[in-house]
Amino acid sequence: MTSSRVWRDPHEVPRELAPGVVTIGNFDGVHRGHRRVIDSLVSYASAHDLAPRALTFHPHPRHVMTGSEEPMLITGYEDRNALVCEAGVEDLLDVHFTLEFAQLRAEEFVREYLVDLLRARAVVLGKDSRFGRRNEGDFHTMVELGEKYGFQVVSVEELDADTEAESGGRERISSTLVRKSLLAGDMSGAARMLGRWHSVRDTVRHGFKRGRELGFPTANFSAHPSGAVPIDGVYAGYFSVLDGDRFLERVPATISVGTNPTFEEGPAYRIVETYVLGSHEYELYDRQAKVEFVERLRPTLAFDGIEALVEQMHRDVAVTRSTLAAHGDPRA
């Protein structure tokens, strides 16, 4: 399989580009709804001898347009791009979203980016897609522009989640719904929508070394790992280390998210600390690693003393083992 090309600037796109089929979106989390769109893209490309391409953005358009804090990203931009490419996209253009870019009219965007730059012979979209200045373009606009510029438009139906909407009926799988699950500690719900266990990635840092002193040495992430950190608590999950361009075999882990309220001199910010179950023969510090969250075992607690904390940690490890043994792989 040919490795994917990722362009971070329109000027990087080759002038002599073969015709392709294109989809557009933020793809935050690359959940099963996104995967349905990408699967349709790849199938259409294969059937019509076209290159499957995607156009995405950074930073999040909402952050640029409102000036507010960037939404909690389910996946960091690099991980998002990697997941999109792993799903079968051969060429990905990651556009720097600016106020100037946001002023492009719907037709300008389609003509300049999809037709002229990415040479779209077809565009694959969900029916709720919006594009262009003030979101003026929708699916029907794309169909009209396809007739004008000579490309087909393929619609993809949304996927329903397992939850019920307030207005009745089923909610559709969306990045917003995944974020709600993470903030509620519902890791199984998030996994059903993502099609995988939710994960965060970072470089392993030196911490206070308290875990080592207590017999539970931990691999610590920074205050801002790549990916959305779920609600505070203790989790059962997996830990894996990046080796070159791939992650080594994942190993069971007990994961703590929070500020360590038992210790007065604990950090003022939330951190992810991972106790890796079993032995490993590689150095963790300063290595890129990934933590996958399978199930929230309990909330964060403040203990009266070290002895009570250690007893609870032993219980957490035991529950982690039984929990992981009971869970199937969401990718199945």
CA dist list (Å): 99 to 61, 103, 122, 133, 310: 9, 7, 27, 10, 52
* pLDDT tens digits, 225-263: 999 999 999 999 999 999 888 898 899 999 999 987 655
* pLDDT tens digits, 33-74: 999 999 999 999 999 999 999 999 999 888 898 877 777 899
Question: Dihedral, CA atoms, 15, 19, 23, 28, nearest 10 degrees?
Answer: -50
* pLDDT tens digits, 302-317: 887 888 888 999 999 9
Rg for the chain (alpha carbons), in Å? 22
Residues 76 and 237: their CA atoms lie apart, in Å, by 19
When the candidates are 3.40.50.620, 3.40.50.1860, 3.40.640.10, 3.40.50.300, the CATH number that belongs to 5-158 is: 3.40.50.620
Q: What is the pTM of this model?
A: 0.90
Domain ranges of the chain: 5-158, 187-326
The CATH fold assigned to 187-326 is Elongation Factor Tu (Ef-tu); domain 3 (2.40.30)
* Whether pLDDT at 18 is above 70: yes
